[in-house]
Amino acid sequence: MTPRLRKFALTVHVTSSVGWLGAVAGFLALAIAGLTSQDAQMVRAAYLAMDLTTWVVIVPLAFASLLTGLVQSLGTPWGLFRYYWVLVKLLISVLATSVSLLQTGSISYLAGVAAETTLSSTDLREARISLVLHSGVGLLVLLVPMTLSVFKPRGRTRYRWRKHHEQLNRVNRTRQGRRCGRSRSPEKRC
């Protein structure tokens, strides 16, 4: 990628990743409000807002973060299979996106129930607690790729080591070929 395109892709990736993290934090606040509030209107509004936030913000940002992360890894020297921290980020993003998609059904169900009836503090309590737990753990899980992006810990994958050694061997053969080809006397040729 050209430097300008690389910076643009990085900006989009960071924006979508941080946005995803922020949306999950907002979702967690709504889930806690929906679980703990005694005000029926607050509970109703929290679950309706959670459904909207999930479909309009969290899911699109999750996919944007995943896609732009792939573009970043394939279009920059970091690569997708060269460093462990890049692989860990990819796996966490795939896992977090999958869990988000799996939770959409229960979120939409709770929003539908909240829209039609008044939820008491005991109604669907397990599902409501589950949303608080999933979003809380999700928030912590999303902090891991952020941390890896900042610190970029060392540790090359076997693929990277093999490619590095292949490149060194090519360079050494090229250098050796140049030295051998320059010699004028037959006894000094390789």
Residues 84-129 pLDDT 10s: 888 899 999 999 999 999 999 999 999 999 999 887 767 788 999 9
Contacts 24+ apart (CB under 8 A), 128-136: 128/31, 128/34, 128/35, 129/35, 130/106, 131/31, 131/34, 131/35, 131/50, 131/103, 131/106, 131/107, 132/28, 132/31, 132/32, 132/35, 134/99, 134/103, 135/24, 135/27, 135/28, 135/31, 136/28
Q: What was the pLDDT predicted at 181?
A: 58
Same-domain check for residues 43 and 92 = yes
13 and 72 share a domain? yes
129 with 177, same domain: the answer is no
Higher pLDDT, 137 or 185: 137
Residues 85 and 165 in one domain: no
Question: How confident is the model at residue 187, as a pLDDT?
Answer: 54
Establish how many alpha carbons lie within 13 A of residue 48's alpha carbon, considering only the half-sphere containing its beta carbon.
12
Specify the pLDDT at position 164: 56
Tell me: do 120 and 172 sit in the same domain: no
Same domain as 124, residue 34 = yes
Residue 97 domain boundaries: 3-155
The verdict on 108 and 15 lying in the same domain is yes
Tell me which of 190 and 153 has the higher pLDDT.
153
Contact yes or no for 144/92 (Cβ under 8 A): yes
pLDDT in tens, 6-43: 999 999 999 999 999 999 999 999 999 999 998 889 99
- The total of structural domains in the chain comes to 2
- The reply to whether 183 and 111 lie within a common domain is no
d(CA 108, CA 53): 11
Average pLDDT, the chain: 86
Same domain, 93 and 173: no
Residues 30 and 50 placed together within one structural domain of the fold: yes
* Length of the chain measured in residues: 190
Q: Residue 182 pLDDT > 70, yes or no? A: no
Statement to judge: residues 150 and 175 lie in one domain: no
